Amino acid sequence: MESQYTDEFLLRNWEGFTNHMIEVNGTKLHYVEGGKGAPLICLPGWPQTFYSFNNIAPELARHFRVIVVDLRGMGTSETPVSGYDKKTMAKDIYELIQALGIQKTFVLGHDIGGMAAMSLAYNFPEVVSRLMIADGLHPNEGMLQMPMIPPAGTFEDKINVNQPYTWWMGFNQIKHLPEKLLEGRYYHLLDWLFHYVMIDESKITEFEKQVYAHAYNDPERIRASNAWYQSFYQDIEDSKDYAKLKMPVLGIASNVSYGFYQYAMPQQAENYEIVHLADTGHYMFEENPNEIIRVIREFLSSDNSGGR
């Protein structure tokens, strides 16, 4: 029944959370909010929505004012024709922060949400007190070295930790065709994806898969979410003007991304630490929510004033 995929229905077990729509930077964004305390902005990734924080947001709301935002093109937020570069998406979130009367906030981003979160910290550092990036570093020139064809023996049933083959990075560059192939069939893509990049795919439920399939079955949402990837060239150009981040930054790396974090974080932040979840795949909020909650709370309560 379609009603089970509405924002209101999905939020029914998030105690104290409420749904909201707001127009910022020329587009309408959906967000949910709950809890009290220091604000914590949460930004989801592909191919998910705010609901990807289902396993951690209610617990985090016991300690923080949690605000989970559907990025432009995601969930029930609008799908404008442009503005999917991370600098513009960061301005969306900055204006949301301003509209909510928040002076400074903690920020947590996963996947594409991590890229937008880093852009927010680069472009509006005055509003970000601490930054947490879960498998979602800002686009850089290293992306241009990704292989079109995987090395022999490295592309199998599960992602290769040492030589990951992320073919969707290329597929999502294509305009118009993905919408035709995936409209009404998005479940097949995300079902394969969760199996490929998760160590234990049983940690994501069939209902969760259906939630995301419902969200992305629409051709406009496929077009918009692919635009996050098609903007990587602009993101890379923008990154050339960014100085190293000065606020405390936590990199939360899955089994496959730790090497990237070790290479990239020293170039992108002055004061950082990396947590390696070696037994956890990319969709870490589903596979290891208790450890994610512990790591976040520890980082946000620590006296992290020194550089690294």
pLDDT digits (tens, 9 = 90+) for 248-258: 999 999 999 99
294 falls within a domain: yes
Average of per-residue pLDDT across 238-262: 96
Pairing mode, strands 105-110 and 65-69: unpaired
118 falls within a domain: yes
User: How far is it, in rounded angstroms, from Cα 155 to Cα 192?
Assistant: 13
Q: What is the pLDDT of residue 55?
A: 98
Q: What 8-state DSSP symbol labels residue 255?
A: T
184 falls within a domain: no
Q: How many domains does the chain have?
A: 1
219 falls within a domain: no
Q: What is the pTM of this model?
A: 0.96
Give the DSSP per-residue string, 25-55. TTEEEEEEEE--SSEEEEE--TT--GGGGTT
pLDDT digits (tens, 9 = 90+) for 79-98: 999 999 999 999 999 999 99
195 falls within a domain: no
308 falls within a domain: no
224 falls within a domain: no
Kindly indicate the confidence band of residue 3, based on its pLDDT and cuts at 50, 70 and 90: confident
What CATH number should be reported for the domain holding residue 28?
3.40.50.1820
Tell which residue, 117, 107, 95, 104, has the closest CA to residue 45: 117
pLDDT digits (tens, 9 = 90+) for 43-91: 999 999 999 999 999 999 999 999 999 999 999 999 999 999 999 999 9
User: How far is it, in rounded angstroms, from Cα 214 to Cα 5?
Assistant: 7
Q: Which domain holds residue 118?
A: 2-144+232-301
User: How far is it, in rounded angstroms, from Cα 183 to Cα 271?
Assistant: 43
3-state secondary structure (DSSP) of residue 169: helix
Helix 112-123 to helix 86-99 angle (10° resolution) is 70
Kindly indicate the confidence band of residue 308, based on its pLDDT and cuts at 50, 70 and 90: very low
10 falls within a domain: yes
3-state secondary structure (DSSP) of residue 20: strand
| One-letter amino acid of 192 | W
Q: What is the pLDDT of residue 304?
A: 61
